[in-house]
Amino acid sequence: MHSSSIEVRSTDFSKLIVAIVLSILPSITLFYLTPEMPRILNEILRNYYPDIYWDSELRIRIINALRPYGYLALVVISALSILVFYC
């Protein structure tokens, strides 16, 4: 009977190791991606959107073109929030 209690402890220990490893891997991944993701997205999006920092007229046109999508996203998120709280 004494040997079975050792086996239980061994399986509990292995479960603990697996849980620790599975919690450390996403943490390391998020720690690495936090500074890297904006840089990667910047490189990708520069191919599709021009550099509008100095051209104020182009900047205003792009913002005005994207504004309806922002309002649509606001309405969708608001509607989903209302549905979650009241349904």
* Model pLDDT for residues 46-62, shown as the tens digit of each residue: 888 777 677 788 888 88
pLDDT for residue 3 is more than 60: no
Domain residue ranges of the chain, discontinuous segments joined by +? 1-48, 52-87
**What b/e string do you get for 45-66 counting C-beta neighbours within 10 Å, with b at 16 or more?**
eeeeeeeeeeeeeeeeeeeeee
pLDDT, position 52: 67
Please report which confidence band the pLDDT of residue 42 belongs to, taking 50, 70 and 90 as the band edges.
confident
pLDDT, position 11: 79
pLDDT, position 6: 55
pLDDT for residue 25 is more than 80: yes
